A and B are shown apart, each in its own frame.
Chain A
Amino acid sequence: MTDEKPLKLKLYVAGETPKSVAAIRNLQQMCEENMKGAYEIEVIDLRQQPQLAREHNIVAIPTLVRSLPVPVQKIIGDLSDKEKVLVHLHVDEQ
């Protein structure tokens, strides 16, 4: 991850379901520890705005979408396996 290519992440959640809450916590913690200052997170609550699910064709919640850099990546789940998440977020930059 570099300053030139900031990560743009969208996390789709459904209100305060346990996995949504866990996903928010895990993502924030992971980014702060590993990519400090080089990421943007947008949390989208589909309970409030269900129509936003169509942009990235979201079916399961929680789902994390890496919209930048392209190509778009999707990760389903509460992001508790941090190593795997980091691998998937970084994999296409290599």
Chain B
Amino acid sequence: MTHSPAEPDAGTEQDLRRRLSEAEETLRAIRDGEVDALVVRGPNHDEVSALGGENSYRAFMQAMDIGAAAVDGSGKLIYANGALVDLLGAQAPDLQNADLATHLGPDGAAALRRLLEHSGPDRRSEQLSLESPSGERHVEVTAAPLELVFGRGYALTFTDVTERVEAAAASESERIGRAVMASSNDAVVVCDDKGVITHANAKVRQFCISGCVGKHFEVAFELSFPVSSGLIGAREVVELALSGSNVRAVEANLAGGDRARHVVVSASPLRSSGGTIGGCIVALADVTEQRATDRKQKLLMGELTHRVKNTLTLVLSIANRTAAGSNDLSDFRPAFARRLEALAATHNLLAEDFSGGLTLEDIAVAELAPYIAVGSERLTIEGMQYRLTSDTAVALGLVFHELVTNAVKYGALSNERGRVSLTAANDGEALAIEWREENGPPVQPPERHGFGQTLILRGLGQSGAQSTTLDYLPDGVVCRMYIPNSSVLTD
């Protein structure tokens, strides 16, 4: 630091001395490092030239694409490069004249304060978000101690990490999205804004074995909707979602694949962070089995109601007719009990396979077993594989019961030699079943026409087939029963 005496007076010598003194002082100041720039006179204009490589350093700082600044110990801005000026959306003079913190917003200012207050010998970083002309930016600010000419300060760098933060957020969102898709029990696909499938989870394979990514949704999934849904086709589902609407749980039939399926379709728009719709998500839940179960359940409920009503009617009828044929209560009680047991035997079998029906053999075995061992030489069962509807099975069970109890009391099963054969044959229109007794005691037609006989003759009804016949032949009783094919189930 130095000074020079005065501007020129009139005297030339004094002026020369003053200039010489100034020149000497300037040289000394340059030599002693007290100046860092010089004014260089040119023929047309003067230029300022920095000393000590200042120009190249500054040019380097200006060329940096990350924001850089130097602040003094109190946080006051000393220098900011062009990248920081652009980042903060401020004019350079504004930035120079104001506190840097005022350009960072309240949160940014607090972050900067923390950085400077806790700054030690090492560099420290904080991430903050700034409102810039181009929208919100995520910036990582790093502070490092800086020795300045007039004391201690800080070098700050402002690195725009918006893309990195957004990429990380997008990556995280995608990871979460994929995890959600993978864990879904439904088939889930993501479509772009043209309705082309871009992602699909593993569950989709059950519908599209050949793969659906890259196909238009309506091509990959041939959906048809019931008229009541108001939807026409798969394309409309995607269009609704892309227009911002949600499609919630609409039932549809899905053609293609290994078999037709019943599905529930839901679709939602897929919005980007800006709120614009960039695609949609469609979920398809396969409810084929569930609907089949529902239908079966409904059928079974109807069947059960039907059986209970029929059974109550039958029990009432059995009670009345048994009472009519009985002399007193002691007569009535065992006869009634046996008939109810016969009814129960068939019902027990039916309950085991509620909807499949019973075979003739099932019914015969259930009713005859208490009286004669199935498989014994005295009983022949042939051609009894036909399966009957439940009503017919119940009626036939009661008929078999009456036949076998009569045989045990009076017929072929009342002695040691008698035999019973039970055969069935279908002529295409009706199933003919023959009960034939042999080697029993001589047959005497009954004197009285009891309930048992009525039940045998009328138990199966007519139903378009022939009536049951019951012949008391001398060799043994022969009963021929006919069941219309409408009561015979086809496997």
Q: Chain A residues in contact with chain B, CB under 8 A?
A: 14-22, 25-26, 46-47, 50-51, 53-54, 57-63, 70-81, 84-85, 88
- CB<8 Å pairs between A and B, sample of 19: A14-B36, A14-B50, A16-B78, A17-B37, A17-B50, A19-B37, A19-B149, A20-B37, A50-B46, A57-B22, A61-B48, A63-B35, A70-B7, A76-B2, A76-B3, A76-B25, A76-B29, A76-B35, A79-B1
| B residues less than 8 Å from A22 (CB atoms) | 148-150
- Is there an interface contact between A76 and B46, defined as CB atoms closer than 8 Å? no
In chain A, what residue has the closest Cβ to B2?
Answer: A76
- If A17-B50, A18-B148, A50-B47 touch, whether A78 touches B78 (CB-CB below 8 Å) is no
User: Does B6 make an interface contact (CB < 8 A)?
Assistant: yes
Q: Which of B7, B30, B79, B149 contacts A60 (CB 8 A)?
A: B30
**B416 CB, min distance to chain A CBs, angstroms:** 131
Contact yes or no, A77 B149, CB < 8 A: no
B4 touches A74 (CB 8 A): yes
* Other-chain contact of A21, B4, B35, B45, B79 (Cβ < 8 Å): B79
CA distance A94 to B4 in the complex (A): 17
A-B contact count (CB 8 A): 114
Encoded as 1 (CB less than 8 Å from any A CB) or 0, chain B from 136 to 149 comes to 00000000000011
Q: Is B39 part of the contact surface with A, judged by Cβ < 8 Å?
A: yes
Q: How far is the CA of A43 from the CA of B112 in the complex (A)?
A: 29
The closest CB in chain B to the CB of A60 belongs to: B35
Please determine whether A72 and B6 come into contact, CB atoms closer than 8 angstroms.
yes
Residues of A within 8 A of B79 (CB): 16, 21
- Determine if A59 and B1 form an interchain contact, defined as CB atoms under 8 angstroms apart: no
Whether B38 is near chain A, meaning CB under 8 Å from some CB there, is yes
Please report which residues of chain B, range 17-52, place their CB below 8 angstroms from some CB of chain A when the two chains form the complex: 22, 25-26, 29-30, 34-39, 45-48, 50
| B contact residues around A74 at 8 Å (CB) | 3-4, 22, 25
8 A-B pairs closest in CB distance: A77-B1, A14-B37, A77-B34, A61-B37, A71-B6, A60-B35, A76-B29, A22-B150
Does B7 lie within 8 Å of A77, measured CB to CB?
A: no
Q: Across the two chains, which residue of chain A brings its CB closest to B96?
A: A16
Residues of B within 8 A of A53 (CB): 39, 46
The docked-state distance in angstroms from the alpha carbon of A3 to that of B37 is 34
A51 to B150, CA, bound (A): 29
Residue B54 at the A interface, CB < 8 A? yes
**A51–B36 CB distance below 8 A:** no
- Judge whether A59 and B26 touch: CB under 8 Å: yes
